[in-house]
């Protein structure tokens, strides 16, 4: 009984990211986790499902419902309607930067000007696996390797004493308005 009350009080994660960035689980509009992966890890998925009190097996086909993948990566819609992308190849980042709210990649970050929040190889190296919970305008982050903690199996990264606890989208400069009014010469009939 105590465990079920505790489970109700603890907020469910919106996004789970493996330490290597190759497996991402996103809570969909149906309230269940949906899996994007570039490498199958049945043990990891089994643990994520158990922690979420989800009785599905790691091989359950419903884990892939609503997930669209191609050789460049995967994308799925989160419970708040935004898209989460797993970018496997560098060429996927350009499209993902325009359309996704969150990008996970085990590669270097996309060029400046990306409109999405990004979890890249460097963040994964510093913090390991991540649990993200949606807040008003960002994600609250729980990291497996909080900054400054030195363990024999997970040594502290030099110069990384503070753990990032939020993930905000980059500040984007609004695009100037484009006047779409046709020119007078375009409005005149052909002679």
**pLDDT tens-digit map of 39-78:** 888 999 999 999 999 999 999 999 999 999 999 999 999 9
Which regions of the chain are under pLDDT 50? 161, 170-178, 191
Q: What is the pLDDT of residue 38?
A: 83
In a domain, 116, yes or no: yes
Report which of 45, 121, 30 is spatially closest to residue 76, judged by C-alpha positions: 30
pTM for the full model?
Answer: 0.76
What is the span of the domain harbouring residue 41? Answer: 13-170
180 within domain boundaries:
no
Rg of the chain on CA atoms, in Å: 20
CA 6 to chain centre: 26
| Count of domains for the chain | 1
56 located within any domain: yes
CA distance 189 to 167: 54
**Do 116 and 167 meet the contact criterion of CB atoms below 8 Å apart?**
no
Residue 36 lies in a domain: yes
Does residue 144 belong to any structural domain of this protein?
yes
**Does any domain span residue 2?**
no
The pair of structure tokens assigned to 84 is 């989460």
- Answer yes or no: is 38 within a domain: yes
**Cα–Cα distance measured from residue 172 to residue 174, given in angstroms and rounded to the nearest whole number:** 6
Query: Does residue 182 sit within a domain?
Result: no
The residues, ordered by sequence, that sit 6+ positions from 173 with a Cβ below 8 Å of its Cβ are: none
Q: What pLDDT is stored for residue 174 in this prediction?
A: 40
The pLDDT of residue 175 is 41
């Amino acid at each position: 009984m105590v465990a079920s009350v505790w489970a109700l009080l603890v907020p469910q994660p919106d996004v789970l990211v493996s330490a290597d960035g190759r497996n991402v689980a996103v809570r969909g509009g149906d309230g269940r986790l949906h899996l994007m992966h570039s490498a199958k890890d049945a043990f990891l998925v089994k643990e994520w499902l158990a922690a979420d009190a989800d009785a599905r097996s790691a091989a359950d086909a419903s884990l892939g419902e609503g997930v669209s993948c191609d050789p460049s990566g995967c994308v799925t819609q989160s419970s708040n309607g935004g898209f989460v992308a797993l970018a496997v190849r560098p060429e996927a980042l350009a499209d993902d930067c325009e359309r996704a709210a969150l990008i996970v990649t085990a590669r270097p970050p996309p060029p400046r000007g990306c409109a999405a929040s990004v979890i890249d190889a460097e963040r994964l190296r510093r913090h390991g696996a991540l649990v993200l919970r949606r807040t008003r305008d960002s994600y609250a982050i729980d990291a497996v390797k909080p900054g400054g903690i030195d363990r024999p199996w997970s040594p502290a990264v030099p110069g990384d004493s503070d753990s990032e606890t939020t993930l905000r989208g980059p500040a984007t400069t609004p695009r100037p308005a484009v006047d779409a009014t046709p020119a007078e010469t375009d409005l005149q009939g052909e002679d």
